Amino acid sequence: MHIPPNSVIYEMITGEMVWKKIPPDTWQLLVPQAWMREVWRRLLSSTICGSGASDLCSALAALARKLATTTCHHLDAFTACRLIPLDKKPGCRPIGIGEVIRRVVGKCIMAVVKEDVKRAAGSLQVCAGQQAGGEAAIHAMREIFAQEDCEAVLLVDARNAFNSINRKTMLHNIKIKCPSLATYADNTYSEPSNLYVNRSGSNKARVLESREGTTQGDPVAMAMYALGMSVLQDVIAFEKTKVKQVAYADDLSGAGKLQDLSHWWGLIQANGPTIGYTPNAAKSFLIVKPEHYDGAVNIFSGSGVVVTKEGQRHLGAVIGTEEYKKEYDGEKVSEWVHEVDVLSAMAKTEPHAAYAAYTHGLQHRWNFAMRTIPDISPLLRPLEESIKNNLHTSVTEISRPGE
């Protein structure tokens, strides 16, 4: 039986928290439409709306507290989303984009339950609020793969995982493992959500119902998915499989002996679909050390898993041979050099915009690569030259009248 959380833990959600969780420089991420973004910025700005702004923040805080502690009904308007297609190249992934109020409330809820979610999800699911969790997973798998007794690393991919996880199982698991989040999760996911699709040439939108999975635009979606996946992770734990493993949301990765990895893969295939996690063998890769390649081909014959002794992309980094790393990084560097050249051309007429795009967006791509891929400095030399000779010159160049 589910015991509702003590409402006192949510008293920290106040109007001040609502404003602090949504600073002005992130409104473009929360509200894609420019006009709607400006409306909400004005509504929550005390300098423009006076006391009305603080009253609205307090009202949103009260709504968050109520949804987190009380069973509510008829939340169709609150949970409704816009549906957009995401090009997966190949394929199409439907993504639900939550509206402003749901995002504001969700961020406040997560501020309260974050530590509870981390404890409930466990140390091997690094998407539940752990700082730099993805980077930790990358370094862990690389270090384990380098150990002498490790024969291979298996990277498991799932089909449309976020939209397919069994919602009833997920909500039941949250009630047991993380009661502080259970009431809010039940309020927002126990009933189907309406997804609105704009039809070209028509003023009337088509409405679809979301009955499974989580809404990827919802701030609590990642935490809920992590708790839902914990059922599967208990089944494939190291104590039962002898496979060293870590997960970032639906991206499972395990390392160890080939026979153990084969058993691990079998357990995922057998138990994953029952909770809505269907492994996609065609996009799952077994990265094996060269001396064990023939054995890996035999053991995983007929599984559909791609066996390689070269390497493969892993959470934005790479695992494999030095040659594969150089090839992978070389392609990335060529792409980044091209992007820097585009910014350099832009900087001749819009230097401030180009500099902002560089500092707030572009440079984070190779900063991540430098943190997660060792000994990458020599490969970044063309990028350094492009920044120094093209972008820096274009941004700092002073145009003279008549030139």
Q: Is residue 111 part of a domain?
A: yes
> What is the total count of domains within the chain?
2
Can you give the three-state secondary structure of the chain, one letter per residue? CCCCCCHHHHCCCCHHHHHHHCCHHHHHHHCCCHHHHHHHHHHCCHHHHCHHHHHHHHHHHHHHHHHHHCCCCCCHHHHCEEEEEEECCCCEEEEEEECHHHHHHHHHHHHHHHHHHHHHHCCCECCCCCCCHHHHHHHHHHHHHHCCCCCEEEEECECCHHHHCCHHHHHHHHHHHCHHHHHHHHHHHCCCEEEEECCCCCCCCEEEEECCCCCCCCCCHHHHHHHHHHHHHHHCCHHHHCCEEEEECCEEEEEECHHHHHHHHHHHHHHCHHHCCCECHHHCEEEECHHHHHHHHHHCCCCCCEEECCEEEECCEEEECHHHHHHHHHHHHHHHHHHHHHHHHHHCCCHHHHHHHHHHHHHHHHHHHHHHCCCCHHHHHHHHHHHHHHHHHHHHCCCCCCC
- Full domain range(s) for residue 160: 7-318
**Phi, psi (deg, nearest 5) at residue 218:** -90, 125
| Percent of the chain topping pLDDT 90 | 22
Residues 325 and 310 reside in one and the same domain: no
pLDDT band at 86 (very low <50, low <70, confident <90, very high): confident
Mean pLDDT of the chain: 84
Contact of 217 with 81, CB cutoff 8 Å? yes
Q: Is pLDDT of 400 > 50?
A: no
Of the residues 318, 334, 349, the one at which a domain ends: 318
Residue 403 domain-assigned? no
> Is the same domain home to 180 and 212?
yes
Question: Domain for residue 126, yes or no?
Answer: yes
Question: Which of 285, 318, 351 is at the close of a domain?
Answer: 318
Of the ranges 80-84, 91-95, 288-292, which one carries the lowest mean pLDDT score?
Answer: 91-95
What local confidence, expressed as pLDDT, does residue 25 receive?
46
More confident residue, 166 or 24: 166
Across 378-392, average pLDDT? 88
> Which of these ranges, 197-201, 244-248, 304-308, has the smallest mean pLDDT?
197-201
Q: Would residue 2 count as lying in a domain?
A: no
Does residue 18 fall inside a structural domain? Answer: yes
Based on the fold, state whether residues 283 and 172 are members of the same structural domain.
Answer: yes
Of 45-49, 54-58, 263-267, give the lowest mean pLDDT range: 45-49
What whole-number distance in Å separates Cα of residue 9 and Cα of residue 17? 14
pLDDT at 159 > cutoff 90 = no
Whether 62 and 184 have beta carbons less than 8 Å apart is answered as: no
| Average of per-residue pLDDT across 288-293 | 92
Q: What does the pLDDT read at residue 62? A: 92
User: Residue 184 above 50 pLDDT?
Assistant: yes
pLDDT of residue 297: 92
- The reply to whether 192 and 313 lie within a common domain is yes
Q: Is residue 401 part of a domain?
A: no
Mean pLDDT of 11-36: 64
Let me know if residue 1 belongs to a domain.
no
Give the Cβ contact number of residue 351 at 10 Å: 16
Q: Which residue has the tokens 């040439």?
A: 201
Q: According to the model, what pLDDT value does residue 349 have?
A: 85
Q: State the pLDDT at residue 26.
A: 46
**pLDDT given at position 402:** 44
Looking at the fold, whether 251 and 312 belong to one and the same domain comes out as: yes
Based on the fold, state whether residues 59 and 129 are members of the same structural domain. Answer: yes
Q: Are residues 298 and 325 in the same domain?
A: no
348 with 301, same domain: the answer is no
Same domain, 311 and 326: no
Q: Which of 298, 318, 338 is the last residue of a domain?
A: 318
- Residue 201 pLDDT > 70: no
* Residue 157 and residue 240 share a domain: yes
Question: Which is higher by pLDDT, 117 or 51?
Answer: 117
Residue 38 forms part of a structural domain: yes
- Residues 266 and 296 both lie in one domain: yes
pTM over 0.85: no
Provide the pLDDT for residue 44.
Answer: 67
Are 268 and 384 members of one domain?
no
